[in-house]
Structure 1
Amino acid sequence: MSQHNCDLLIVGAGMLGLAHAWAGAKRGLKVRVFERSHTPLGASIRNFGQALVTGQAPGVMLDLARQSHRLWAELGQAAGLQLKQQGSLLFARSEAEEALLEAFCAGRACEQGYRVELLRGAALDGLYGGRFAHHRAALHGLDDQQLYSREALPQIVDYLRTLGVQFHFSTLVRDVEPGSALTSTGRFSARHIVVCSGHDYQTLLAEPLAALQPSVCRLQMLRARLQQPLDLQHAVLTGLSCVHYGAFADLPEAEAIRAQIRREQPELETHGIHLLVSPTPHGELIIGDSHDYGSDASPFNAEGVDDIMLALAEHTLGGKLHVLERWQGVYGSRGPGPFSVLQAGAGVSAVLMHTGLGMSVGLGLGERSLSALLGEGEWPQASVA
């Protein structure tokens, strides 16, 4: 062991990279993490910070989300994260959306053990002083959690440093091979190398990654403040999310929602818009999002897309919004499954997400991948059980 700079070398300080680093540090491994930017700046800090169990499709994604739920509670306490654990609220705005939530609660939720409750009547009217009483129903996902990613990830880095993890920021990893990595500050040797490079498919392991035929998804995101303050403690979604998330999207009732969208607001489907809202610790709200797929992320945002999202948010939240900040989220997408785990050579692996669900399943995926790397378990497979 002494001939190696470390036991575990990780490329990328996003959610998956930090998940693997934490799993290694807990096992007493000597861990180094390399990140090309001066701080995490990729998909993991541009997102909503929603760690959702409720929305995950039955099978491996639901299993990973449930494992991640437990790990978030552990990491949140250890690292001092401001982790909201009150759950999520998915609001039904139409008869079709309410019918889907009813069917989900009566069927799949019972069969698969989703911890949810359907709120209507007085229970719905009592939420936040009646602020959401104009909706037909709300699905309360009891196991869903949320944090402010742009603050939480640096906190996790600081915590991992206390466990002995060494970070090399502003350092590009130029090449990896069995036993070593060539970086912009020199060559480092390692017993195990894990590449968690997000949507960068060309810098490292370009040939095996190309075989996955992945693409990139670009999102338009906003940070805003309500003119009428709302001390929101839940992650918020609407029935529009039911045609996007695997827990709901394949239910027969989802087709009525799709038909309604195409009939009344086809631009929602055109731009892949479904409303998500997350509170920050500072009384603001993160709002989005849209979905634009391609081989590269266009740098140009469409103001009309932001206008649609703001209108949806103002209706859902029952108040006018003042925009403070706009940005693009970017993540890897549309690979052969929701994630990929590649063994690219002896002691060299790559773990990549192909959806925007890294916060929901990343901790569990990192734990399982490292367990397999050390011969303690099986490699996770992105197949539906």
Structure 2
Amino acid sequence: MTDLLIVGAGILGLSHAYAAARRGLKVRVFERSATPLGASVRNFGQALVTGQPPGQMLELAKASSGIWKHWAQQAGFELKANGSLLFARTALELELLEAFCAERAPQHDYQVQLLSGADLNDLYGGQFRHHRAALRGLQDQQLYSREALPSLIRFLQQVLDVQFHFSTLVRGIEPGRVSTTAGDFNAKQVVVCSGHDYQTLLAEPIAALQPQICRLQMLRARPRFKLDLQHALLTGLSCVHYGAFADLAQAQALKAQLQANSPHLLEHGIHLLISPTPHGELIIGDSHAYGSDASPFNAEQVDNWMIELAEHTLGGRIAVVERWQGVYGSGGPGPFSLLQVAPGISAALMHSGVGMSVGPALAEQHIARLLEESN
């Protein structure tokens, strides 16, 4: 008898599978495609603690950090655990980072260092000396999602005996049963981790959340100069978007400055993230467009703005080798929802782009709660 059926093999689905299987439950996972193709493989692979707002999201990110370390060791994928660098390019961005380090970081135990002067010049042989400072997030980690998720799936299959059904569409759910293109399956619990698909399953309870879809433009590039990047990179632009910084007075001043000088960045939700891959390439983005559907059409001007930001931040030229659309669930009543739809049927949905950062620990909490309620 299967104990748990999971719909979706993205990071939330895999995290739920791990949380349940390590507790001794028999688990099956259903994925409509032959391999995960949604938000969990289209992203930067940044498991960020530093950007999370104080409170629940920060604690989930801290707990998830330890889970990622365990997975990397057990599943054998590369995890860069030497932190992130957030560059201050202007006087106002530097003022913002100084305020964060003076008050919020010690109050909420963000493990950070503010690098300037000789410390900044020592980074990558002085490659980033044109910035005013760098906030190093010591707890932040980075992985290459396209390789890490398949490795995690193999670990779940081979070590924890999780059964996967790929290229299998789940067409219907009722308590204790799911109907799929591979037949019907029974279990005590069903958890739907359907990403931004709000219509195939549980459409009515999900619609009540008023979710949206966020669409991103992203790039993969090679530097045209020597750079062995080992950190995830951000700039002060991210401070306008991330909850760890966004409510600070300096962040509001920065937003006003951007509105006056670079309104196109706010209009298209552009803030720079750069992640190194294990193959010497860089994942670069991103923009943000929100709606009920993800338009298939990219704007070349948006890509050009991101390339310009990336080349200034890196201090050198890049060559784009690939472009794609990221996509994730947005809107909703908060950063995520855990729905109890019916006895034995629940759903876990992210409404923000931090599933990699908080998903592992969120699933641990959800599975623990489901098991407690079923006893």
Offset from partner CA, 1:324-365 (integer Å, 9 cap, x none): 000000100011000000001011000000000000000001
Q: Deviation digits for residues 139-170 of structure 1, max 9, x if unmatched?
A: 00000000000111011001100110000000
Instruction: Tell me the SS of whatever aligns to 1:352.
Output: strand
Q: Within the alignment, does 1:207 sit opposite 2:204 as a pair? A: yes
**Residue in 2 aligned with 1:83?**
79
Give the match's secondary structure for 2:249.
Answer: coil
Aligned to 2:353: 356
Residue 113 of structure 2 corresponds to: 117
Query: Residue 301 of structure 1 corresponds to which residue in structure 2?
Result: 298
Describe the shift of the 1:84–1:376 C-alpha distance in structure 2 as closer, same or farther (beyond 3 A): farther
In the alignment, the residues of structure 1 paired with residue 76 and residue 121 of structure 2 have an alpha-carbon distance, to the nearest angstrom, of 33
Identity across matched positions, percent: 69
Structure 1 match to 2:154:
158
The residue that corresponds to 1:380 in the other structure is none
- Partner amino acid for 2:245? F
Aligned to 1:383: none
Q: In 2, Cα distance between the equivalents of 1:221 and 1:177? A: 38
SS at match of 1:283: coil
Q: Which runs of 5+ in 2 are unaligned?
A: none
Q: CA deviation at 1:255?
A: 1.2
Which among 175, 180, 186 is matched to residue 189 of structure 1? 186
Given residue 47 of structure 1, which amino acid in structure 2 is its aligned partner?
N
CA–CA separation in structure 2 for the residues paired with 1:264 and 1:224: 27
Alpha-carbon distance in structure 2 between the residues aligned to 1:315 and 1:280: 20
- Report the RMSD for the aligned CA atoms in angstroms: 0.9
Per-residue deviation at 1:185?
1.1
1:35 aligns with 2:38: no
Deviation per CA, 1:45-64: give whole Å up to 9, x if none. 00000000000001110010
Work out whether 1:16 is the aligned partner of 2:5. Answer: no
Amino acid at match of 2:64: S
SS in 2 for 1:323: strand
Instruction: Tell me, yes or no, if structure 1 residue 65 matches structure 2 residue 64.
Output: no
Structure 1: any 5+ residue segments left out of the alignment? 378-385
Change (3 A) 1:376 1:50: farther
Question: What is the identity, as a one-letter code, of the residue corresponding to 1:325?
Answer: E
CA apart distance, 1:376:
7.8
Asked if 1:322 corresponds to 2:315, the answer is no
Whichever residue aligns with residue 343 of structure 1, its letter is Q
Give 3-state SS (helix, strand or coil) of 2:245's partner.
coil
**Rounded Cα–Cα distance in structure 1 between residues aligned with 2:155 and 2:226:** 33
Residue number in structure 2 paired with 1:242: 239
SS in 1 for 2:19: helix
TM-score (norm 2): 0.99
In 2, the alpha carbon distance for the partners of 1:285 and 1:260 equals 29
Residue 223 of structure 1 aligns with an amino acid whose one-letter code is R
